[in-house]
Amino acid sequence: MNKIVVFASGSGSNFQAIIDAIENGDLDAHIAGLITNKKRIQAIRRAQKAGIPVRVIKPGDYSGPDEFSAALLRQLRLWEPSLIILAGYMVKIPEEVVSEYRNRIINIHPSLLPKYGGRGYFGINVHKAVLEAGDDVSGCSVHLVNEKYDQGPVIAQRKVLVQTGDTPDSLAERVLAEEHKLLPEVIGQLLSATSNS
């Protein structure tokens, strides 16, 4: 079974792109559940609408990082995903989780990594930095998650040209549109590679 688990902390438009790709028949996968660290986010409403189970697992609800990572692992062991997708998840994945799901956790990032990755490069900051640097091309990346923030091997990228007059918001919008296509495609490729191995 092509089971996946999605982690998200915000609007969840990439999560929605995965739901839609499955519903349209473009992606052969089953979303076992959504894990989030926030209670009131649009991603939860998207999950509820699609009948996908949600678990809110917040670092602050646990006595320390070990207990937080144990809670994540308990839930993941119940859901048994072949692949874990970080889609706008704003918490660093604990090393214990990376190690148990080595090469089976991917993240989508709104830049052409290794450019504009790592601490501070999230959300609109990424697009501001691209424009401030005067780059003529940006894009998005899907990469494997390892112990270092945004530094796991890149699996796939899609370029987006910077246009004259672009603002961080306008660039973000075009990059996000590419993310929505790239992420379901990569998930499909990885799942079929897993089921054929």
| Catalytic residue annotation | 109
Tell the smallest beta-carbon distance from residue 45 to ligand GRF (Å): 12
Distance CA 87, CA 8 (A): 5
What distance separates the 2 farthest-apart alpha carbons in the chain? Answer: 50
Residues 6+ apart with CB under 8 A from 53: 32, 33, 34, 47
Classify 52 as helix, strand or coil: coil
Q: Quick one: 11 or 170, whose CB is closer to ligand GRF?
A: 11
C-alpha torsion sign, points 116, 171, 12, 188? negative
Contact between 139 and ligand GRF by CB under 6 A: the answer reads: no
Tell the smallest beta-carbon distance from residue 10 to ligand GRF (Å): 4
Q: Quick one: 27 or 108, whose CB is closer to ligand GRF?
A: 108
Tell the smallest beta-carbon distance from residue 179 to ligand GRF (Å): 5
Among 11, 103, 146, 170, binds ligand GRF (CB under 6 A): 11
Residue with tokens 């874990």: 84
Under the rule (CB under 6 A), what is the footprint of ligand GRF? 8, 10-14, 87-88, 108-110, 176, 179
